[in-house]
Amino acid sequence: MDLIHATSVNWQGRGILITGPSGSGKSSLALGLMAFGAGLISDDQTHLQRDGEVILLHPAPNLKGMIEARCVGVLAAQPASPAPLMLVVDMGTLETDRLPPERHATILGHSIKKVRASASPYFLHALVHYLRAGRKH
């Protein structure tokens, strides 16, 4: 298993990997997704495990069931099951295209759909809708 600096959530059996540097909003986005029903796999560090054509997201054992909320503290969270990686959210790169092309990240040799961070106040809501309904090309 590879350990990476990223936060991950389980959205209805699909794994969302939130990447970016410290302070970029990974935990904040995870908390927002959790408010819409996602479960926390791991905050700040996530184990990636290749299983054939699937990459599974697992919690870092020392962080299981905890998420940091800046200026509030470390919060308890019901640990979610590991999930197959379906989407990468890159909080370290701001999207500048109004209608961006479909983007991908290469993770452990697999091409995974990717979206970049947005300064838009409705980014979380757009991301939740993307997870529910997908994207038109």
Domain boundaries, the chain: 2-133
The mean pLDDT value for 69-90 works out to 95
The mean pLDDT value for 21-33 works out to 96
What is the per-residue pLDDT for 7? 98
CATH number belonging to domain 2-133: 3.40.50.300
**What does pLDDT average to over the chain?**
95
Predicted TM-score (pTM) of the model is 0.95
- DSSP string spanning 92-131? EEE---SSPPPEEEEETTEEEEEEEE--STTHHHHHHHHH
What is the per-residue pLDDT for 3? 94
102-125 per-position pLDDT tens digit: 999 999 999 999 999 999 999 999
